[in-house]
Amino acid sequence: VYRASSSMFLCKLCSPYWKQCINDSPISAHQPPPAKYGGRHTVTLIPGDGIGPELLNHVRELFRFCCVPVDFEVVTVDSSVVSEDEINNAVTAIRRNGVALKGNIETNHNLPPSHKSRNNLLRTSLDLYANVMHCQTLPGVQTRHKDIDIIIIRENTEGEYSSLEHENVPGVVESLKIITRVNSLRIAEYAFKLAREKGRRRVTAVHKANIMKLGDGLFLQCCKEVAAGYPDIAFDNMIVDNTTMQLVSKPQQFDVMVMPNLYGNVVSNVCAGLVGGPGLVPGANYGKNYAVFETATRNTGKSIANKNVANPTATLLASCLMLDHLGLVDYASMIRKAIFKTLSETRLHTADIGGLATTSEVVQSIMREVQKTGPLTSEYI
């Protein structure tokens, strides 16, 4: 109740942005890229591997059905190709359009280190420094823990993912983990701003500063400095191993969490597992000028590709986050409502959440819901 009333108060204060305040959109200072060509947005679409292409096709189908004014510019990135031209083309396309929706691109870790992870290249080239994931218990999904509502903000560009490795002596490999003051301050600032916007009361920094005294110590210090400027939001910190232990026993104690790259990987996967699995949670990567939306746990789902059994919820919710980002808030809430309505029906659960429904059944049901409640749609089904 407190959360709702505080956000309504903020909404009254900043009335031009009130629509953005009451939904899942990023920081209110953001300006969506201007819609060109007859009021329609162009968004880069990167199908990726595994279940990516089929689920993103469903997104396009749904958008066409709902008459969403978004056109997709498809850029394929083949994970087996060694040259980096394709991923560079994708980056150029995203620079042009400002927004992208993507599936995960597989990385073959048996290739030599010169072949870098395509997803990582995309994130670092576009400087998408904040990965935001909102995990909440969804109605209709059976889980061991109830009442989870955690926002995880993960630094997305440095830390352990700097890909700086060398072998000075044969048989001894060094991998560098880089933590900088600038990026730590930036992600902490983002976390607190987001917490304030959403009316959240506490931010927890996750670290391992008792062992990595300089690296994580710097990160923690930056978070403390930023916290001083937000006296209305409580700030505490927790060591990452204790965090995972607390997450599996009492996840309800967490509100907003901010952390460096690797711990973010672990914690976001744990939280996604707690609320029902990788098929339910959308993720967003925000930079100063660009935004890329994908599923939170970034799985390729090779084993279930093209079998019509994948759960489309995460990808569809990611597309709703994208619509919020573009300012098409009404379309986003219409689709989101339909998704949640479908999710609450057990007979429409896919295999990963314990049901027997196929992907197309779920998407059809969502379209029927939209038709029942929404404006005129393109086909009558």
Binding site for another protein (CB under 8 A): 107, 109, 111-113, 115, 117, 120, 144-145, 160-161, 163, 165-167, 171-182, 208, 211-215, 218, 240-242, 244-250, 262-263, 265-266, 268-270, 272-274, 277-278, 297-299
Say how far apart CA 59 and CA 315 lie, in whole Å: 8
Q: How far is CA 154 from the centre of its chain?
A: 10
CB of 203 to another protein, least distance (A): 21
Q: Is the Cβ of residue 42 or residue 350 nearer to another protein in the bound state?
A: 350
CB of 53 to another protein, least distance (A): 20
Backbone phi and psi for residue 317, each to the nearest 5 degrees, phi listed first: -65, -35
Q: Is the Cβ of residue 218 or residue 370 nearer to another protein in the bound state?
A: 218
Q: Is the Cβ of residue 10 or residue 240 nearer to another protein in the bound state?
A: 240
Say how far apart CA 28 and CA 345 lie, in whole Å: 34
Q: Is the Cβ of residue 4 or residue 245 nearer to another protein in the bound state?
A: 245
CB of 71 to another protein, least distance (A): 32
CB of 266 to another protein, least distance (A): 5
Q: Is the Cβ of residue 162 or residue 371 nearer to another protein in the bound state?
A: 162
Closest Cα partner for 307 from 264, 245, 350?
350
Number of Cβ within 10 Å of residue 49's Cβ equals 20
CB of 70 to another protein, least distance (A): 30
CB of 31 to another protein, least distance (A): 30
CB of 349 to another protein, least distance (A): 14
Q: Is the Cβ of residue 20 or residue 125 nearer to another protein in the bound state?
A: 125
Q: Is the Cβ of residue 299 or residue 319 nearer to another protein in the bound state?
A: 299
Q: Is 323 in contact with 161 (CB distance < 8 Å)?
A: no
CB of 30 to another protein, least distance (A): 27
Task: Give residues with Cβ within 8 angstroms of 92, minimum separation 6.
Answer: none
Using only C-alpha atoms, the chain has a radius of gyration, in whole angstroms, of 21
Q: Is the Cβ of residue 161 or residue 331 nearer to another protein in the bound state?
A: 161
Closest Cα partner for 25 from 336, 236, 315?
336
Q: Is 151 in contact with 194 (CB distance < 8 Å)?
A: yes
CB of 245 to another protein, least distance (A): 4
Q: Across-strand partners of 41?
A: 70
Task: Give residues with Cβ within 8 angstroms of 169, minimum separation 6.
Answer: none
Q: Is the Cβ of residue 68 or residue 281 nearer to another protein in the bound state?
A: 281
DSSP string, 270-313: HHHHHHT-TTT-EEEEE-SS-EEEEETT----GGGTTTT-S--H
Say how far apart CA 98 and CA 34 lie, in whole Å: 10
Q: Is 134 in contact with 151 (CB distance < 8 Å)?
A: yes
Alpha-carbon distances of 287 from 131, 145, 226, 243, rounded to whole Å: 9, 33, 19, 27
Q: Is the Cβ of residue 53 or residue 273 nearer to another protein in the bound state?
A: 273
CB of 115 to another protein, least distance (A): 8
Backbone phi and psi for residue 45, each to the nearest 5 degrees, phi listed first: -120, 120
